[in-house]
Amino acid sequence: MQACVEDIDFRSPRGLDRSVILRLASCEWIRSHQTVLITGATGTGKSYLACALAHSACRQGLPPRYYRFSRMLSDLALARADGSYGKLLEKLAKIQLLLLDDFGLAPLAGTERLDFLEILEDRYGTRATLVTSQLPVENWHELTGDPTFGDAILDRLVHGSHLITLKGGSMRRRYNSTSGSDTEEEETE
Phi-psi domain of 38 (left: phi exceeds 0; alpha: psi -120 through 50; beta: other): beta
First CA to last CA across the chain, in angstroms?
8
Compute φ and ψ for 80, nearest 5 degrees.
-60, -45
What does the domain layout of the chain look like in residue ranges? 5-179
Q: How far is CA 110 from the centre of its chain?
A: 22
Closest CA to 27 of 59, 1, 49: 59
What is the per-residue pLDDT across 134-148, written as a single tens digit (0 to 9) for each?
Answer: 999 999 999 999 999
CATH assignment, 5-179: 3.40.50.300
Orientation angle between helical segments 110-123 and 147-158, nearest 10 degrees: 30
What is the per-residue pLDDT across 156-185, written as a single tens digit (0 to 9) for each?
Answer: 999 989 999 998 766 555 555 544 443 333
What is the per-residue pLDDT across 26-58, written as a single tens digit (0 to 9) for each?
Answer: 999 999 999 999 999 998 989 999 999 999 999
pLDDT for residue 38: 97
pLDDT for residue 186: 35
